[in-house]
Structure 1
Amino acid sequence: MSSIVLATSAEDSRAVEAVVAHHTEMNGTLGLLVEALVQAVESGTATTGAHRRLVDWTRTDLLPHALAEEAAMYPHAHRDEHARLLVDAMIAEHGVIGKLVDALDRATSPVRAAAHARALQVLFETHMTKENEQILPLLALSSDVSLAGVLDGMHELLGGHSHGEGGEAAAGGEPGGACGCGGGAGGCGGASEGATAAAMDDAPAEPAGHSCGCGGHDDAGNLPVLDARAVPHAIRHATIFGALEGVAPGAGMVLLAPHDPLPLLAQVDARWPGTFTVDYLERGPETWALAFTR
């Protein structure tokens, strides 16, 4: 998270951070899937695969997440008279998200599919911001509800595990939060985002199991691009993890980074052992460009 969240207990604070980390990863996955579809439309290549992957992800991940929020979090927030109208509006936005997914699924032309996809991406990002900055802090500060208890075991809200399993809330790559990697310190690097970024410039060697080319990637011009330089520092790694989660087997993405991201590559190797081949397309001094192929 990029801001301090006050809570009635350490457990609730960690629960907030876990949900925010999962939101960030979801946003990264959605952004990559949308970018892959838009890029296919722009280049005039086949869009069927990118279109179907996006629709499938929204139905298996995004919509179940929205329903889980309505079932677990929203009823508690709705009891607060100051938040009641906000919660009603958030539920209405879930309805709009569902309609956009249906429209995306039914789209008969690539251009219309891309238009619905971009609208869905923008709406989800603004919706996520309101949840992170208003709904979650409200619940964390409430003395009438334990947010940690409400979210305990909620797969759809925490990305596959609860905030307390295996100590991941304390050891994950995002500060204090579980990021859905299932690996604790090994899965997400075991360090805060700030410590990881600080180590980028003086990391001595590339991680084991990581493959780097020297001349670039032949298909890099056709890969969707994630410009991590534009992502806020505190959520950068979670966004990248989410984007990589959206890369289909045989496909890839290009990452633009402000540093040589060796610690990030070590985290990727730990989280997806042997899954990604990485080729450097550009090595500074302002930008490092890397092609990830699954």
Structure 2
Amino acid sequence: MIATQQEAFDAILAHHEALNEDVRLRVQFINSKVANNEAAQSEKADLISYLNSEVVPHAIAEEHTLYKVAVDRLGLSDLIAEMTSEHRVLVGEIAALSNASSDNEAVEHAARFASLFSQHVSKENELILPKLLDSPEVDLTEALAEMHELFEAAKKASSTKADDIDVAAVLVSLLLDATRELAKAGQRDQAARITASAWASLEAQRPELANKTTTALHRLVNSRNSEPVTLSTSRNARIDRELDVRSLAPAQRHSEIFAAYRKLEPGNGFLLINDHDPKPLQYQFEAEYTGQFTWDYLESGPKTWRVRIGRPVPAS
């Protein structure tokens, strides 16, 4: 049982060291596989699982305990803002690693995460924890106990709340913050794909959070510079029906469109008529039905957009 300030300090340092070493070893496993021209899918999956089940819950718990105390009791607002921003960057790297299209790309993102995480932990150990230890205003044993409670709640990834904190909602907020930073860095398409992937994983279990990602996806797409749309030259594709969603509320449009797609027989399609570029919807189709749909622009605004959405015939 942790009874003193020093014991709490040492326990946090030990946890940081264990996390850092576990990340380093898992990244090393990926590197070794790729260096030997072997597939690293299982190693990549293991790293992603570890980051999501151990590192991200740790970050969430820190922000609501140690970081909060550092701001409220010690006035370290600027430093904590910087450290919180680094959490967003780390979550963005996890998302990028999850979406890596090749083992070499996975190696790149894994190495970047390991480097950033090691630097981040060092800053916590050297710039934050000693100040918390030395301050008579801070009870580190209490902060550590609260941190452990939140950490365990986050690891369970359930709807259980600790101190009124919705873990899934916090994770989504972290992810969306990270995608905004990714977009600012010029990776808007990657940010949109990651956001759409989050939507696909949330729509069934947490529709309110899925709606939040849809809003963020629209903002990402709308904030990019206008890009020319290539219109399809094919006029032979079969169109079963027209689906004009212009009179529907935005929340209704997506459900109607996906319902229409699910009813399609292979080789058939429908004509979507919208009052804006449905590019966000295309990202969601790519996340939900990868390789199982076709998307052909027939008219590209400015007031009316027409897109043929089809279900291709499976290759024999």
TM-score of the superposition, structure 1-length normalised? 0.49
Structure whose residues are more often helix by fraction: 2
- When Rg is computed on C-alpha atoms for both structures, the one with the higher figure is 2
Which structure carries more relative contact order (alpha carbon 8 Å, separation 6+)?
1
